[in-house]
Amino acid sequence: MAASVLLNILLSMVVRSTDLPLYIDTIGTIVATALGGIVPGILTAFVTNAVNFFLDGESIFYAPLNMLIAMLSAAWFGDYSVYKKTLKHCDGETPNKKKGILDLLLYILLLALIGGGIGGAITWYLYAEAGDAHVITGFAGWLKERFGIGGFGCHMTAAYLTDVLDKAVSVAIALMIIRGVPKKVREYVRLSSWRQKPLTMEERERSTRKLRGRMSIGMRIHLIIVFSTLLMTLVALIFSIVSFRANMVESLSTSAAQIAYLAARSIDPGRVDAYLEYGDALSDYETTRERLKILKSSSDEIAFLYVYKIETDGCHVVFDLDTVLSDGRVVPGDPAGTVVPFEEGTEKYKDALLAGQELPTELLKDVYGSHIASYCPVYDDNGQCVCYAVSNVESGLVTQRLEHFIGRVILLFIGFLTLVLTMSIMMTKYHIVYPITGMTLRADELVEQIGDAKEESLKKLEEMDIRTGDEVELLYRALCKLTGDTVYQLNDNRNKSEAINKMQSALLITMADMVESRDSDTGAHVLKTAAYVRIILQGLKRNGYYIEKLSDKYMRDVEMSAPLHDVGKINIPDAILNKPGKLTDEEYEIMKTHTTAGKKILENAISSMEGDNYLKEARNMAAYHHERWDGKGYPEGLHGEVIPLSARVMAIADVFDALSSERVYKPAFPFEVAIKIIQDGAGTQFDPLCVEVFLESVAEVKKILKKYQET
C-alpha cells in the first residue's frame, strides 16, 4: 500500500511538471487492489487523493472516484474475475485472446467512465470548466468550434476521450507491474485479515444453512453501521450547510457594510448639494466618482454602489456607479440629480432615512432582485445626515457559493463514508462474523459428538487459534470478569467526565486567549481576572453577602465563564485595540461596543444550546462589566444591584488587572496604588460589598499578581 501510494503521487507529480495530457494517478490503486484486495485498494486510493490535496488543493474531492476505481478493479482482479480465468488458461489451457482483449477494453472504458465521465461532471459542477486541465480545455474548444456542440457537451466529450487514453496507459503499466511480481509475493501480500485458521467454503455454507432464513449477525451489524454512519453524516452535512450559509451571509453583510462605510468617508458632505445640482460639471465630482469606482472594484462581491440624498419625494442620486450583475445584465448608473422613488424594500425605512438614522444591514428587494444592502449615513460638521452611501451585494452569491460548498462537502463525505463503511464491514467480517461462526461450528460438534470424537472436536477448536484481540477472544472469560469490568467501566466513565470538564475549561481559556492575543498588552489577563473573580465570590459567600445568589453552581458558572468577558473585542480593529496613545472620542465609542458585541456573540451561542447553562453569566459579564454602581457606566447605564452580580464582580477584577498590568499607553501602577483606586471606587464605580471582600483578600491577590508576573 505504501509503495502504491508513493507510485501514484510520484507519477502525478511528473505529469504536473511536464503538463502531459494524462493523470496516471491510479496505477498504484490498480496494483494495490490486484495484489492486496479491495481494502488496500480503497485505502491506497483515499490516501493518494488526501496527499495530492496538499499539492493541488482539489484532489480530495475526487477521492470517491479513485475509490470506485479500486472497487471496479477488485471485481476485475477478484477470485472469479475474467483476469483470474485468463491466468488459469495460461496455466493449462489455451486462452481466448479475442475475448480477453474485448474484456480488457471494456475494463478500460469503464474506468474512463468513472474518471472522465463522472470526474468531468464533477469538475464542471465545481468550476464550470475543465479546471487546470489545459489539454481538456483546448480539446473542448476545438470540438465546439468544429462541431458546434454546447460547452458542457464539449467538456464531457473531451474529458472522457482524454481519460480513455489515460486509463489505457495506466492499465498497461499496472499489468506489467502485476505480472512482474512473483507468485509467492502475490500470495504473501494478499490481505485476508484472517487472525485464525480460515473457514473452508463447506463450513461457511453449513453455517449459512443453519440460519434457515434468519438475518445473520453480520448483516445486522452491517445495517447498523450503514444506517448509523449515514445518519451521522446527514446530521453533520445539514449542520455544516446551515453554518456555512450563516457565515456567508454574515461575511457578505460585513463586506457591504465596510464598502458603504469607506464610500461614506469618501464623500465631502459640504459638496453634496453642489453635486446634485451640477453633477459631473464639477471638477471634483469625477475625482470622487473614481474613488468610489476603486472602492467598488476592490471587492468582487459588491453589485451596486451609490450615494443618495433622501427627500420626501424619493431618493436623489448623488452618485450611482454602473454595474454588471451576475446574470450578465448591465445596469447603468443614474445621473446626478435623478429622483428614484422609494421601492418596496426601503419603503418601511422611509422615516428612518429622512431622520438620518443608521439602518441595519439586511436583505432588501428591488427591481433587480434581492440584495444585502448596507446604508451608511454621511454627516456634515453639524452632525446632520446629508446623504447615504449604499452598497449592495447580490443575495444570489450566497446560493451560488452554497451550491459549490454543498458539492464539495458531499464529495468529501462520500469519500470518508466509503472508507469508513469498507473498513467497518471488513473488520466486522473478519473480527466478529468469521470467529463467531467458527466457534459456533466447533461448539455444535462438541455437543453432537461424544467420546473420542469430542476430544477431536476440542482439538479442532483449539486449532482455530482465534486472536482477534477483542471481546470475541475474551468471550469465555466475560462472566467471571463482569463485576471487575463494571467497576472499571464506572471509574473510566468518571475519569472521562472529569477529563471532559477539564477539556471544556481549557477550551474556554483557549478561546478567550485567542481573542485576547490580539491585544498586545493583556498577558495572562483572562487567567488573572478569573482568579480575582474566584477570590471575590468566595469572599462574598464567606461574609454571607448575596447568599441567595451564591450557589455552588452559580459560582462555578461565573468562574468558568469569566475568561469570556472580553470576547466582544474580536470586533474591535487592531489599530484601536493596540493604540499606544489615548483613544479619541470616536475611537473610544468604537471600543465601548465590545460589550454589546460580546453580549450578541454569547446570546447567539446560548440560543443554540438547550436548557440552563453557564454562558448566561458569560453574557452578563461580557455585556455589563463596564457598568458603574452609580449608573454612569456603559453600555446601558445600569446602577446598583440592577447590574448582574457577576458583572459587578468582574468590574473589579478587570479594572484591578488593568491598573496593575503594563499597557502600551501606561506603565503598571504600584500594587498599593491600584488597591487604593479600587478602594476609592467603592460605592461609586464598584459594588461596596465586592470591594470589601476584595480588600480583605489582598494577600491572595498579591500572590496571584506575583505568580503571573514571574511567569
Positions of CATH 1.10.1760 in the chain: 2-190
- What is the pLDDT at residue 463? 60
pLDDT digits (tens, 9 = 90+) for 304-350: 999 999 998 889 999 999 998 877 788 899 999 899 888 777 788 88
Give 478's pLDDT tier (boundaries 50, 70, 90).
very low
Residue 554 DSSP class:
H
**Better-scored residue on pLDDT, 363 or 367:** 363
Return d(Cα 126, Cα 537) in angstroms, integer.
56
Q: Which of 100-109, 329-338, 605-614, 653-662 has the lowest mean pLDDT?
A: 605-614
**Better-scored residue on pLDDT, 220 or 590:** 590
For the segment 420-443, the average pLDDT, to the nearest whole number, is 74
pLDDT digits (tens, 9 = 90+) for 625-660: 999 999 999 999 999 999 999 999 999 999 998 888
Query: What kind and span of H or E run contains 562?
Result: none
Q: Is 486 exposed, middle or buried (0-12, 13-18, 19+ CB in 10 A)?
A: exposed
Q: How far apart are the first and last CA of the chain?
A: 48
Spell out the CATH class of 496-710: mainly alpha
The secondary structure of 459-502 as a DSSP string is HHHHHT----SSTTTTGGGTTTTHHHHHHHHHHHHHHHHHHHHH
pLDDT digits (tens, 9 = 90+) for 10-53: 888 887 777 666 778 889 999 888 888 888 888 898 899 888 88
Q: Which span out of 281-290, 493-502, 663-672 was modeled with the highest average pLDDT?
A: 281-290
Tell whether the model's pLDDT for residue 450 goes beyond 70.
Answer: no
Is residue 278 classed as helix, strand or coil in its secondary structure? helix
Is residue 639 classed as helix, strand or coil in its secondary structure? coil
The strand pairing partners of 682, in sequence order, are 686
* Cβ proximity of 299 and 255 under 8 Å: yes
Positions of CATH 1.10.3210.10 in the chain: 496-710
Query: What kind and span of H or E run contains 369?
Result: strand 369-379
Return d(Cα 226, Cα 65) in angstroms, integer.
20
- What is the pLDDT at residue 389? 94
- What is the pLDDT at residue 19? 67
Long-range CB contact pairs, 591-597, < 8 A, 24+: 592/626, 592/634, 592/635, 593/568, 593/635, 594/566, 594/568, 594/569, 595/568, 595/622, 595/623, 595/624, 595/625, 595/626, 595/634, 595/635, 596/568, 596/623, 596/635, 597/568, 597/569, 597/570, 597/571, 597/572
For the segment 395-411, the average pLDDT, to the nearest whole number, is 81
- What is the pLDDT at residue 540? 93
Tell whether the model's pLDDT for residue 449 goes beyond 70.
Answer: no
In degrees, to the nearest 5, what angle opens at C-alpha 248 toward C-alphas 244 and 250? 120
- What is the pLDDT at residue 465? 61
Tell whether the model's pLDDT for residue 695 goes beyond 90.
Answer: yes
- What is the pLDDT at residue 195? 55
pLDDT digits (tens, 9 = 90+) for 115-139: 888 888 887 777 755 444 555 666 6
The CATH architecture annotation of domain 2-190 reads Orthogonal Bundle (1.10)
Q: Is 176 exposed, middle or buried (0-12, 13-18, 19+ CB in 10 A)?
A: exposed
Name the average pLDDT for the chain: 79
Proportion of the chain above pLDDT 70, given as a percent: 77
Tell whether the model's pLDDT for residue 471 goes beyond 70.
Answer: no
Tell whether the model's pLDDT for residue 455 goes beyond 50.
Answer: no
Cell of 662: 503594563
Tell whether the model's pLDDT for residue 363 goes beyond 50.
Answer: yes
- What is the pLDDT at residue 634? 92
Tell whether the model's pLDDT for residue 292 goes beyond 60.
Answer: yes
Q: Which of 295-304, 347-356, 431-440 has the lowest mean pLDDT?
A: 431-440
- Identity of the amino acid at 261: Y
Q: Which of 92-96, 285-289, 335-339 has the lowest mean pLDDT?
A: 92-96
pLDDT digits (tens, 9 = 90+) for 182-224: 877 777 776 555 556 666 667 667 777 766 667 777 777 778 8
pLDDT digits (tens, 9 = 90+) for 479-531: 333 333 433 444 455 565 555 555 555 555 555 555 555 554 444 777 888 89
Give 460's pLDDT tier (boundaries 50, 70, 90).
low
For the segment 403-420, the average pLDDT, to the nearest whole number, is 82
Tell whether the model's pLDDT for residue 245 goes beyond 60.
Answer: yes
* Cβ proximity of 627 and 651 under 8 Å: yes
- What is the pLDDT at residue 461? 57
- Topology of the domain covering 266-394: Beta-Lactamase (3.30.450)
Cell of 385: 445626515
Give 141's pLDDT tier (boundaries 50, 70, 90).
low
Proportion of the chain above pLDDT 90, given as a percent: 19
Q: Which of 33-42, 345-354, 461-470, 553-562 has the lowest mean pLDDT?
A: 461-470
Give 476's pLDDT tier (boundaries 50, 70, 90).
very low
Positions of CATH 3.30.450.20 in the chain: 266-394
For the segment 57-62, the average pLDDT, to the nearest whole number, is 81
**Better-scored residue on pLDDT, 702 or 95:** 702
> Nearest CA to 421 among 241, 236, 237, 231?
231
* Cβ proximity of 638 and 685 under 8 Å: no
The strand pairing partners of 304, in sequence order, are 392
Tell whether the model's pLDDT for residue 87 goes beyond 60.
Answer: no
The strand pairing partners of 375, in sequence order, are 390
Query: What kind and span of H or E run contains 213?
Result: none
- What is the pLDDT at residue 474? 56
